């Protein structure tokens, strides 16, 4: 029991580092860049609010678990803008998952690493819906800030559509909504590149 608790506490202390991983998108109501902890909290809350738009019946607790742990790997791998992710980035994330989840007792390591893999591969209705929220929030933030981050990183309208089309796998309704908003930005000339 003591050894198990020590491992759990070590993991809890380690994941505090996620608060120092800053993303490329800004908060809705100020110009501060969001950190991974804020992102994970926000999309977990979004899951509760928007779960009625999932394409399939989902276990909302499983979705929230995925959303709370999916970016923990960025403690080691860093935040990579999804539009420019490479195979090397994926390898670094896998290595980080092994190390960080490896701090936990074996049963919890397996559970959380398996959830992380399921999320990454979009292997279930829960994973597909979790990915919807992980993509939806930064897209909404970019739209709110008039495509500022996309333009700063030279992300074209076509690339935004291509990467975010996977939203439809978890929620047709949320894809229809956000695609309409992305299209509106394009029509208003907010994208610098096509």
**What is the pLDDT at residue 192?**
81
Distance CA 129, CA 58 (A): 8
Residue 139, pLDDT above cutoff 80 = yes
pTM here? 0.95
CATH of the domain at 90: 1.10.3210.10
Asked if residue 25 belongs to a domain, the reply is no
Is 21 inside a domain boundary?
Answer: no
Q: Is residue 46 in some structural domain? A: yes
- Does any domain span residue 22? no
pLDDT tens-place string over residues 63-95: 999 999 999 999 999 999 999 999 999 999 999
DSSP H or E stretch at residue 24? strand 22-26
Domain count, the chain: 1
How much is the CA Rg of the chain, to the nearest whole Å? Answer: 17
Beta bridge partners of 35: 22
| Domain range for 39 | 2-16+30-187
Examine residue 176 and state whether it is found in any structural domain, yes or no: yes
| Alpha-helical segments (H) within the chain | 2-15, 36-50, 60-69, 74-77, 87-101, 106-121, 125-144, 148-152, 157-164, 167-170, 172-187
Question: What is the model's pLDDT at position 194?
Answer: 61
């Amino acid at each position: 029991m003591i050894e198990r608790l020590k491992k759990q506490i070590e993991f809890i202390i380690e994941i505090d580092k996620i608060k120092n991983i800053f993303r490329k998108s800004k908060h809705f109501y100020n110009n501060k860049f969001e950190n991974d902890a804020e992102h994970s909290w926000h999309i977990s809350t979004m899951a509760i609010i928007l779960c009625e738009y999932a394409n399939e019946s989902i276990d909302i607790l499983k979705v929230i678990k995925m959303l709370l742990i999916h970016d923990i790997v960025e403690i080691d791998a860093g935040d990579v803008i999804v539009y420019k992710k490479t195979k090397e980035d994926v390898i670094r994330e896998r290595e980080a998952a092994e190390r960080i989840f490896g701090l936990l007792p074996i049963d919890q390591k397996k559970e959380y690493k398996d959830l992380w893999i399921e999320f990454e591969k979009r292997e279930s209705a829960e994973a597909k819906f979790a990915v919807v929220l992980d993509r939806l929030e930064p897209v909404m933030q970019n739209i709110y800030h008039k495509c500022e981050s996309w333009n700063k990183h030279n992300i074209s309208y076509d690339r935004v559509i291509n990467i975010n089309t996977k939203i439809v796998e978890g929620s047709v309704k949320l894809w229809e909504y956000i695609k309409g908003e992305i299209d509106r930005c394009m029509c208003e000339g907010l994208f610098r590149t096509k």
